[in-house]
């Protein structure tokens, strides 16, 4: 693989242990919204590389990944990077892309938002006219990554339904989890693609929701953050 050398430029802590890292975008580095990269860095276990979805859009002049601190040696090394630290990124990988038909229904929880943010940001930047609904599950309103930006896409035709596990005191938000019942309450599930992205456990639950909604395999677009 042809690795590109780059440098971290800054870090944004969203809440608790969730943060975004920005890197200089190497010259000639191109990617599609929704694609991922391998981020390679020195750790106490030697040089390691892990996959991360592009959270930025192809129209941005930087590369951005968003993750949470887990305690692994890789994430400790990532958390220790400072502006100017040198890392490498792989060419863009993966086939995930925004479906051609709309309205699109996105079923996303927590960190699974990264490729969807890339796709929605790209659609907004290019004024593609994409319409749809994003069901975005999080524990509480205190930690909703990219919230303001995602909410702002309502005027472009993408409505975000926030679903909080804990009571939120937000009348417009839903309480609990993303379920088939809840999805049916907001969208007609007989039309359009259903996109779900994120850690394997979340994907398993969202696939069950899609089963209950009778979403045919050809209408399902799935990006699993790892095996399982």
Ligand X SMILES: Cc1cc2nc3c(=O)[nH]c(=O)nc-3n(C[C@H](O)[C@H](O)[C@H](O)COP(=O)(O)OP(=O)(O)OC[C@H]3O[C@@H](n4cnc5c(N)ncnc54)[C@H](O)[C@@H]3O)c2cc1C
**Cβ-based nearer residue to ligand X, 122 or 174:** 122
In the chain, beta strands by DSSP E: 4-15, 18-24, 36-43, 46-53, 62-68, 86-89, 104-109, 132-138, 158-164, 174-175, 194-198, 220-224
Contact between 83 and 10 (Cβ < 8 Å): yes
**Binding to ligand X in span 63-102, by CB under 6 A:** 65-68, 70-72, 74-75, 94
Contact between 65 and 19 (Cβ < 8 Å): no
How near is the Cβ of 141 to ligand X at its closest, in Å? 21
31 binds ligand X (CB under 6 A): no
| Site track 169-198 with ligand X (rule: CB under 6 A), x = hit | ------------------------------
How near is the Cβ of 44 to ligand X at its closest, in Å? 10
106 binds ligand X (CB under 6 A): no
Compute the CA torsion angle 98, 102, 103, 104 (nearest 10 deg): -20
50 binds ligand X (CB under 6 A): yes
Write out the residues near ligand X by the rule CB under 6 A: 36, 50-53, 65-68, 70-72, 74-75, 94, 111, 114, 223, 225-226
């Amino acid at each position: 693989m042809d690795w590109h050398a780059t440098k971290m430029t800054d870090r944004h802590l969203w809440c608790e242990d969730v943060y975004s890292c920005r890197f200089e975008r190497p010259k000639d580095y191109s990617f599609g919204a929704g694609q991922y990269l391998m981020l390679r860095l020195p750790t106490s276990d030697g040089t390691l590389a892990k996959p991360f979805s592009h959270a930025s859009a192809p129209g941005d002049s930087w590369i951005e990944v968003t993750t949470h601190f887990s305690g692994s040696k890789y994430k400790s090394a990532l958390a220790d990077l400072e502006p100017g630290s040198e890392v490498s990124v792989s060419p863009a990988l993966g086939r995930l892309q925004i479906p051609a038909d709309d309205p699109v229904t996105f079923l996303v929880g927590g960190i699974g938002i990264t490729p969807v943010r890339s796709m929605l940001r790209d659609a907004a930047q290019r004024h593609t006219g994409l319409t749809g609904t994003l069901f975005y599950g999080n524990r509480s309103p205190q930690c909703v990554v990219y919230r303001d930006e995602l909410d702002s896409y309502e005027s472009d035709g993408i409505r975000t339904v926030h679903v909080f596990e804990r009571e939120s005191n937000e009348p417009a938000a839903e309480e609990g989890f993303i379920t088939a019942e809840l999805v049916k309450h907001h969208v007609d599930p007989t039309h359009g693609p259903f996109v779900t992205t994120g850690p394997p456990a979340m994907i398993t639950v969202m696939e069950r929701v899609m089963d209950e909604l009778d979403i045919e395999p050809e209408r399902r677009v799935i990006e699993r953050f790892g095996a399982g």
